[in-house]
Amino acid sequence: MPIEQSAGALERIVSPEQEVEWLGSGYGGGSVAEGPLWWKEGGYLLFSDIGNNQRLKWAPGEGVSVFLEPTNNANGLTRDPQGRLIACEHGTRRVTRTEPDGSITVVASTYQGRRLNRPNDVVVKSDGCIYFTDPGAPDPGLDLDFAGVYRVSQDLGTMTLLTRDFVMPNGLAFSQDESILYINDSRRGHIRAFGIQPNGTLALATDHVFADLRGERPGVPDGMKVDVEGNVYCGGSGGIWVFNSSGNHLGIIVHGAPSTTNMAWGDEDWKTLYFTTRDSLGRIQLQIPGIAVPSA
């Protein structure tokens, strides 16, 4: 059975008989597969092969092929309200936006004159503001002595450090109404939740641990997604953990791989949960749609 649940709480989301489908393996190149992103107009999925410096494409009936290389060891991917690709680049330690003509705009590369650490994951609010995590510090080879979470304004003119008290900020996701930003800490094994102030920054007084995902089996919090009902999905010990908006643990989607690195909603109805592990790509059909990614 692909799920472990509490009192049948997960059955509304995924059938106990629903099987995980593996779409490919052998990725990562000594690092990990990451950043899955459904490209609605083309009906295909993009994802990052960080170590091999490639962006891969999976399409129905075609399988996996190389979509772009090099990528500056890109990790997390998303799209903005105009459908432009936003990428976190490990190699160049920056966040970029790909314009319709293929040119690259730098979203963020420094903070107070010092280079970012290793931008990891990114989300874009419906108003166009870009939020990203930047783990990696402390490290003598890096300029910043802290790991941060940042917000960049719609016009890219203002970059704000939202918080610097995470050990390893990693995945992040907005609640379905964008009133809450969930940010996980891979090292501490939990997800924290923050209310969003009218100016787009975090209401720090609302900071609390939303959920703890530690356990005896392999897996730590990494990429994270939210569905249209506000349920939160995140990799954790033993598989993909699912919580309702109150933080109650509904169950675990067990796929058998030792880690879940990231996830993406996809297909025409946004009811397919695509996910990456350290070296593989899989998917499982769900019964509640996820929050759609913008298209051009």
What's the pLDDT tens digit per position in 146-168?
A: 999 999 999 999 999 999 999 99
Condensed to tens digits (0 to 9), the pLDDT of residues 78-97 reads 999 999 999 999 999 999 99
pLDDT for residue 1 is more than 90: no
Q: For residue 6, what pLDDT is reported? A: 67
Residues whose CB falls within 8 Å of the CB of residue 100, separated by 6 or more in sequence, listed in order = 84, 296
Condensed to tens digits (0 to 9), the pLDDT of residues 25-56 reads 999 888 899 999 999 999 999 999 999 999 99
Strand order, beta sheet including 63-68: 33-39, 44-49, 54-59, 63-68
- Which class for 274: exposed (0-12), middle (13-18), buried (19 or more C-beta within 10 A)? buried
pLDDT for residue 220 is more than 90: yes
Q: For residue 53, what pLDDT is reported? A: 96
Distance in angstroms (rounded) separating the CA atoms of residues 95 and 84: 13
Query: Do 46 and 37 contact (CB within 8 A), yes or no?
Result: yes
Question: In the CATH scheme, what is the code of domain 3-285?
Answer: 2.120.10.30
pLDDT for residue 277 is more than 60: yes
Domain borders along the chain are 3-285
What does pTM read for this prediction?
0.97
